[in-house]
């Protein structure tokens, strides 16, 4: 059985699988932070994103590699992330669980009781 993914973990993994911003396609820390903020439509603390990336990497959902960085970041290296098959399976399971949860549900229109 696949491990359960929280909404924030799903947002981080989706940022890698299906980036919606140009920067997001680069898949390093800052790019993922921007992508997650765009996807969730709110400001997100960098600490939360890095802690989630660490946790997902420890679980084997992600892998990372280092690349050199440019002058815009003081020459400091970038850590690029990519999703692993285990992470993709967890995302599929999360989507299926959400679909099951909502199956057959018809909510009243907004603003009505």
Partner 1 sequence: MNPPRWSERVLRRLLTDRDRDTVSGDLLEEFRARVASPAGERVARSWYRRQVASVAWRSARLPLAIGIALGGALGAWILVDTVRQPLADDDAPGMLIAFAAIIAIWAAASAAVAWPTRRPAHAVVAGMLLGAATLLALHLAAIARVVMFADTIRARDDWQNLVLRYEHSGFATLRAYATYEYVRQTPLLLAIGAVAGTVSGAFGSIVVRLRPR
Provide the minimum distance between the beta carbon of 38 and partner 1 in the complex, in angstroms, as a whole number: 13
Joined together, the tokens standing for residue 85 give: 């098959």
The correct pick among 21, 38, 69, 88 for binding partner 1 (CB under 8 A) is 69
Question: Hey, how many other C-beta atoms are within 10 angstroms of the C-beta on 96?
Answer: 11
Q: Does 40 bind partner 1 (CB under 8 A)?
A: no
Name the one range near partner 1 by CB under 8 A: 2-10, 11-19, 72-80, 89-97.
Answer: 72-80
State the binding string over 73-102 for partner 1 (x if CB under 8 A, else -). Answer: xx-xxxx-----------------------
Closest CA to 28 of 51, 58, 61, 50: 50
E strand map for 1-113? 62-67, 78-83
């Amino acid at each position: 059985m696949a491990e359960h993914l929280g909404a924030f973990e799903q947002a981080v993994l989706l940022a890698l699988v299906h980036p919606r911003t140009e920067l997001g396609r680069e898949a390093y820390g800052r790019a993922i932070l921007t992508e997650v903020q765009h996807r969730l439509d709110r400001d997100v603390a960098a600490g939360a994103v890095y802690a989630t990336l660490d946790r997902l990497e420890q679980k084997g959902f992600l892998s990372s590699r280092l690349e050199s960085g440019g002058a815009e970041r003081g020459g400091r290296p970038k850590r690029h992330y990519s999703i692993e098959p285990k992470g993709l399976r967890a995302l599929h399971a999360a989507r299926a669980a959400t679909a099951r949860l909502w199956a057959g549900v018809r909510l009243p229109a907004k603003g009505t009781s």
